[in-house]
Structure 1
């Protein structure tokens, strides 16, 4: 039986990019373009409104906030006077909205993007149709120096999303949402990223082969998958898992995954073994293990990830579960 999270904040568009900084929870609202800080009591404080919809968050060593402008194609830097300055421009390399971001302790940033206009595609097609050969577009993660210079690009990945650094800082783990896997890349001495390899597969290999098959088996699989996309059916399923945000468990060996396909956070071990599940009230886009004692699982949940619908609905939530 799954354990269930409790709602602590409500009324947002698409809460995302959960971070713990300065003893408080921070998050973006992708639908309304705002960044928020929550102390754990009362309402969350609005820190800044970002042109082009706020995305991934991080901090430079001197404490200045970095925040992605998804539609603007840039990362902004929030200066001490409240002004937003362009930290890096990614429009020449991003094939779609710029998305999540990890900033390390030295100020190096790793920034992903959708790779294509996902929202327009989603409004017109079932997600399973993305896998008609040659499959969904791939796109790199950009490595950005603390001064805002692009220092390198990874090999193209399937919708690179939430990221984690390993405790020793030598590798970066990224959620490849559309590949339904976690992928690990070595961090090079210059801060760029090396060749990717799978850390954990979150779809059965036989199902992945069928989903991408160019012939009749693939056509049938994609059509069946489109039927199973219905929320009433999807929420009763346990596989596959489309990883969005990811977070280390307190053991720093296993990883919590926000499952964008249904209302849950799933804890997985290297190789993909499922260790634990926590139910949420809606599809989950981000998760974080933090809090004053580091034992609270936070989850950002939404009734829809379409930013236009979500902004009107205002049904985005922050939920928590005590581990």
Structure 2
């Protein structure tokens, strides 16, 4: 057991933590803001996008990609602070995003709007190639959430929250996914955001169980970091890659989402550094 430290307090539904060039980047879905946070907790607004969900990834060529779910687009944050269209996904309703070391961008989405009372339909994953072309590469992921790519660019791991498992796919030379399999059966665990470490284990955040758990392939639990509210996502970073950033908030259900001002950014030291993407 490890005790986390509060880096940022008083936010809304915080998600999508990423480490880049000495700062943490997190999305406050309630405010429609992407925040840049120093290791000392100083906060700056890096971008404003009216979208919920609002997830981000860093492209290897240096730009931040932002999924504007409501517009059905992937946006790029340019060096002058402007936002341009990186890819048009053709419809709204997208969730998480990860970009591998070759510039392949994977975006997932549920097959229904859980906030509107629509009938359940499974979701899927699309690939945005470096050319901007969009290709569907996976279907029948019940509720896709966090995604991570192994450091060899060979495997995409996806959190399926509704099926309580981590799903893996082989990544082909063309970015297309194949060889789908259950990477870890989590029992009653409900994975949201995830990240990979240098020993090949996955950390996953779990909202209803208020925990971040580190699991091996197959599902054996190696470590746990307990928090006092819902854990939405986690990422490894910091100067030596051994800081686990966890974003949390008081979960109140789909109708209300989170308690106002309950969002926090936490950090905790771990032994094994991060690897792969994000």
TM-score by length of 2: 0.90
Per-residue deviation, 1:54: 5.6
Structure 1 residue 310 displacement after superposition: 5.3
Inter-partner Cα distance in structure 1 for 2:26 and 2:206: 18
Aligned to 1:107: 103
The aligned residue for residue 185 of structure 2 is 201
Note the C-alpha offset of 1:255.
Answer: 0.9
Aligned partner of residue 174 in structure 2, secondary structure? coil
The Cα shift of 1:314 comes to 1.7
Alignment of 1:259 onto 2:259: no
CA contact (8 A) 2:53 2:94 kept: no
Match of 1:321 among 263, 268, 271: 268
- Alignment partner of 1:120: what SS? coil
Shift in Å at residue 15 of structure 1? 1.0
Match of 2:34 in 1: 35
- Deviations 1:220-279, CA, capped at 9 Å, x for gaps: xxxxxxxxxxxxxxxxxxxx110001112342x111110121211011111111111111
Which of 212, 215, 221 matches 1:274? 221
- State the match for 1:18 in structure 2: 17
For the residues of structure 2 that align with 1:318 and 1:307, how far apart are their CA atoms? 21
- 1:12-91 to structure 2, matched below 5 A, reads 12-53=11-52, 55-91=54-90
Specify the alignment match of 1:290 in structure 2. 237
CA separation of 1:177/1:54 partners in 2, compared to 1, >3 Å: closer, same or farther? closer
* Whole-Å separation in 1 of the counterparts to 2:252 and 2:89: 23
Query: How far is the alpha carbon of 1:308 from its aligned partner?
Result: 7.5
Within 2, Cα distance between the matches of 1:153 and 1:256?
A: 24
Give distance in 1, aligned partners of 2:183 and 2:20: 27
Query: Do 2:7 and 2:40's aligned partners in 1 also have CA atoms closer than 8 Å?
Result: no
Structure-2 separation of matches of 1:147 and 1:56: 21
Q: Secondary structure at the match of 2:116?
A: helix
Q: Unpaired runs of 5+ in structure 2?
A: 271-278
Greater helix content: 1
Task: Give 5+ residue unaligned stretches, structure 1.
Answer: 123-129, 131-135, 204-239
Residue number in structure 1 paired with 2:276:
none
Q: CA deviation at 1:82?
A: 2.3
Cα 1:70/1:307, change in 2 over 3 Å: farther
Q: Are 2:115 and 1:119 equivalent residues in the alignment?
A: yes
The match for 2:141 is 157
Deviations 1:174-194 (A, max 9, x none): 111111100000101111212
TM-score, structure 1 as length reference:
0.78
**Map of 2:195 onto structure 1:** 247
In 2: Cα distance, 1:306 partner to 1:36 partner: 24
Contact map agreement 2:246 2:266 (CA 8 A) in 1: yes
| Shift in CA distance, 305/88, structure 1 to aligned 2, threshold 3 Å | farther
Closer, same or farther: CA 41–3 of 1 in aligned 2, 3 Å: closer
Match of 2:176 in 1: 192
